[in-house]
C-alpha cells in the first residue's frame, strides 16, 4: 500500500516536470567466490527541484554506495539513474560530490584546489576557470582565503573548500557524503545551519541536493525528504516528506516527533 502511495507521488512529480534526479529500481550485487552478494535491492527514489533529500540507514547498509551510483562512480548491476532527461552512465560535470574527508591537495592553495576540480573542463578558458573558482570560494564563505594552504585552514574551512570545489563546476546535482562527520560539534553545527541556504540558492546552479548521513537530527534539520534504507541488502523502508518550516527549531516538539519517526523506521 505504501509503495502505491509513493509511486503516485512520484508520478505527480514527474507530471509536474520538476524531477531532477531519478533512481529507478537500482540493484547492486558484489560477487564473493562467484556467488552474488546483494548490497542494494530495488532502490527507487526521486529528488525534485530545490529539494534536499537525505538518505539514511544502519551503518554499512550501502548509503554511500548508493550515492556513488547516483554520481556515476559505481555502475549498478541493474536499474538506472537519470538526471533530468539523461541517464547517468559515468561521472559527469553536472553532478558534484563532497566527501566526508576533505580530500584536498596539501601542496595547493585553496584557489588551486578549487581550480583542480575544473582541470578537465576543456570548454573554459583559464580566465573563466579562475573567475568560477573565486566566485565559488566567495559563495562558500572563503573570500580572502584564496592563497591559503589547506594546512593553515580549520576543518570547517577545509570542508568549505570542498564545497567550493564542488560548486565551481556549476553542478545541477550536489551529493554530500556525511559532510559534517569529520568536524567538531561547533563547526558542524554552524556549517549545517548555512548549508541549505548556501546550496539551494539563486547564487548557485544546484537544483537538487542528496545528503547521506547517519545523524538523524542533522537529517531533520536539513532535509525536505528522508529516504530510510534497511540493513544489507538495503531496500527502501520509508520515505518521509519533512514539512517543518525553516529555520528549524531543534528544541521544538515537532522536531523531536520527526526525529522519532525516522528512528522508528530505523529500528
Q: Which of 124, 148, 237, 259 binds another protein (CB under 8 A)?
A: 148
Site for another protein in 195-224 (CB under 8 A): none
Angstrom distance (rounded) from CA 17 to CA 197: 23
CB 151 → another protein: shortest distance, Å? 9
Site for another protein in 125-144 (CB under 8 A): 141, 143-144
Cβ-based nearer residue to another protein, 116 or 149? 149
Q: Does 253 bind another protein (CB under 8 A)?
A: no
Q: Which of 37, 152, 201, 263 binds another protein (CB under 8 A)?
A: 152
Q: Which of 80, 190, 214, 232 binds another protein (CB under 8 A)?
A: 190
Tell me how far apart the 2 most distant CA atoms of the chain are, in Å: 56
CB 98 → another protein: shortest distance, Å? 18
Q: Which of 33, 185, 243, 253 binds another protein (CB under 8 A)?
A: 185
Structural element, H or E, at residue 199: helix 185-199
Q: Which of 145, 163, 172, 228 binds another protein (CB under 8 A)?
A: 145
**Contact of 88 with 161, CB cutoff 8 Å:** no
In this structure, is the dihedral angle defined by the CA atoms of residues 29, 23, 52 and 97, taken in order, positive or negative?
positive
The cell for 182 is 569529520
Stretch of residues binding another protein (CB under 8 A), selected from 20-28, 77-85, 182-190, 253-261: 182-190
In this structure, is the dihedral angle defined by the CA atoms of residues 63, 64, 65 and 71, taken in order, positive or negative?
positive
Q: At what angle do helices 185-199 and 155-168 cross, to 10 degrees?
A: 20
Angstrom distance (rounded) from CA 163 to CA 137: 8
Residues in contact with another protein by CB under 8 A are 109, 141, 143-145, 147-149, 152-154, 156, 185-187, 189-190, 193, 249, 251
Amino acid at each position: 500500500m505504501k509503495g502505491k502511495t509513493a509511486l503516485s507521488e512520484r508520478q505527480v512529480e514527474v507530471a509536474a516536470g520538476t524531477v531532477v534526479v531519478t533512481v529507478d529500481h537500482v540493484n547492486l550485487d558484489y560477487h564473493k567466490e562467484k556467488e552474488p552478494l546483494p548490497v542494494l535491492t530495488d532502490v527507487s527514489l526521486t529528488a525534485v527541484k530545490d529539494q534536499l533529500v537525505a538518505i539514511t540507514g544502519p551503518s554499512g547498509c550501502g548509503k554511500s554506495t548508493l550515492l556513488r551510483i547516483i554520481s556515476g562512480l559505481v555502475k549498478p548491476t541493474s536499474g538506472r539513474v537519470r538526471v533530468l532527461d539523461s541517464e547517468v552512465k559515468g561521472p559527469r560535470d553536472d553532478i558534484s560530490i563532497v566527501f566526508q574527508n576533505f580530500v584536498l591537495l596539501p601542496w595547493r592553495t585553496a584557489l588551486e584546489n578549487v581550480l583542480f576540480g575544473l582541470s578537465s573542463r576543456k570548454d573554459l578558458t583559464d580566465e573563466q576557470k579562475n573567475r568560477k573558482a573565486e566566485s565559488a570560494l566567495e559563495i562558500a564563505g572563503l573570500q580572502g582565503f584564496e592563497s591559503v594552504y589547506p594546512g593553515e585552514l580549520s576543518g570547517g574551512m577545509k570542508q568549505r573548500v570542498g564545497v567550493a570545489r564542488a560548486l565551481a563546476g556549476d553542478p545541477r546535482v550536489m551529493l554530500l557524503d556525511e559532510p559534517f562527520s569529520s568536524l567538531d560539534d561547533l563547526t558542524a553545527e554552524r556549517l549545517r545551519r548555512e548549508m541549505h541556504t548556501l546550496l539551494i540558492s539563486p547564487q548557485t546552479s544546484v537544483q537538487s541536493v542528496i545528503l547521506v548521513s547517519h545523524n538523524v537530527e542533522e537529517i531533520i534539520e536539513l532535509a525536505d525528504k528522508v529516504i530510510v534504507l534497511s540493513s544489507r541488502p538495503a531496500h527502501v523502508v520509508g520515505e518521509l516528506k519533512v514539512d517543518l518550516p525553516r529555520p528549524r527549531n531543534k528544541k521544538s516538539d515537532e522536531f523531536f516527533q520527526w526525529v522519532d519517526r525516522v528512528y522508528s523506521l530505523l529500528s
